[in-house]
């Protein structure tokens, strides 16, 4: 099993309602950074639609008819990389879900996660149009196990305890960390603290991929997609603008630290 894992976290400012434009922006950033030979690419929450309840409903994609997944599967196959597909609004019957998928190097779906902790606090209304997910998701890759979470999940430590109990060594978290413009500074500070805390709490690599830029005249996105190691050290930070965060993960660090400390005892999940 490989111990050096090249990771790219993509950060974009999506154009609301312009799926093709947003997909091509992602492709452009990936192709600009192929020299990094990524093993894993992580995309943001709602990256293909932008943050808009109207566009969520208009551009929702079904499991068997997803232009976004088809597009990303081709990239995964072409460049021999795993891709965490950000999150995409999924239509299932009369319900919508905020859904992430992990693609393997062949472009096949190996994990699917519907967001459990919807942004239904602090004025958030995601639950008005998105249904709650129920199941945790962890997938085996050729370099270790990856656990899936999305945005507001970051505020719920129990979520990550469950992922660790299922063997996750890397946690991926697509996000659209939204704040009023006048609160962007404090929102960004909170975001950074939470990224580092979840890595340190769980002795895992923590990879977030956030949107950036403005939504409208009142709301903005914090950016600062991050890669954090199991000691809480920030290995990479994408800053405020479109771009990437990249790092090479040494999986031996996770395994050696967990050999010295019983993570299940810490999380209260021992049998």
Give the residue among 110, 198, 106 at the shortest CA–CA distance from 151.
198
Q: Count of alpha carbons within 13 Å of 255, Cβ hemisphere only?
A: 11
Q: Is 248 exposed, middle or buried (0-12, 13-18, 19+ CB in 10 A)?
A: middle
Q: Output phi, psi for 22, to 5 deg.
A: -70, -40
Q: Return the closest-CA partner of residue 117 out of 137, 138, 131, 100.
A: 131
Phi and psi for 245 in degrees, rounded to 5?
-115, 140
Catalytic amino acids?
A: 45, 115, 151
Q: What is the DSSP string of 63-106?
A: TTB-HHHHHHHHHHHHHT-EEE--BEEEEETTEEEEEEEEE-TT
For the chain, report the end-to-end CA distance as a whole number of angstroms: 28
């Amino acid at each position: 099993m490989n111990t050096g894992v090249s990771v790219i976290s993509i950060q974009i400012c999506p154009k609301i309602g312009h799926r093709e434009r947003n997909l091509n922006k992602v492709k452009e950033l990936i192709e600009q950074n192929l020299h990094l030979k990524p093993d894993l690419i992580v995309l943001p929450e709602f990256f293909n639609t932008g943050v808009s309840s109207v566009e969520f409903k208009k551009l929702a994609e079904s499991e068997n008819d997803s232009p976004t997944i088809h597009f990303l599967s081709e990239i995964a196959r072409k460049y021999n990389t795993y891709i965490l597909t950000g999150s995409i609004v999924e239509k299932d019957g009369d319900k919508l879900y905020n859904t992430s998928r992990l693609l393997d190097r062949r472009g096949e779906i190996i994990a699917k996660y519907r967001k459990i902790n919807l942004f239904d606090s602090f004025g958030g209304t995601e639950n008005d149009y998105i249904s709650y997910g129920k199941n945790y998701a962890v997938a085996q890759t050729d370099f270790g196990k990856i656990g899936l979470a999305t945005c507001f999940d970051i505020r719920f430590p129990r979520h990550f305890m469950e992922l660790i109990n299922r063997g996750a060594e890397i946690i991926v978290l697509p996000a659209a960390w939204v704040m009023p413009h006048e609160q962007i500074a404090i929102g960004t500070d909170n975001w950074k603290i939470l990224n580092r805390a979840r890595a340190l709490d769980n002795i895992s690599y923590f990879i977030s991929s956030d949107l950036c830029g403005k939504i409208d005249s009142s709301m903005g996105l914090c950016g600062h997609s991050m890669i954090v190691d199991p000691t809480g050290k920030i290995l990479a930070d994408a800053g405020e603008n479109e771009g990437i965060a990249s790092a090479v993960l040494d999986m031996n660090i996770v395994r050696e630290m967990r050999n010295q400390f019983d993570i299940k005892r810490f999380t209260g999940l021992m049998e």
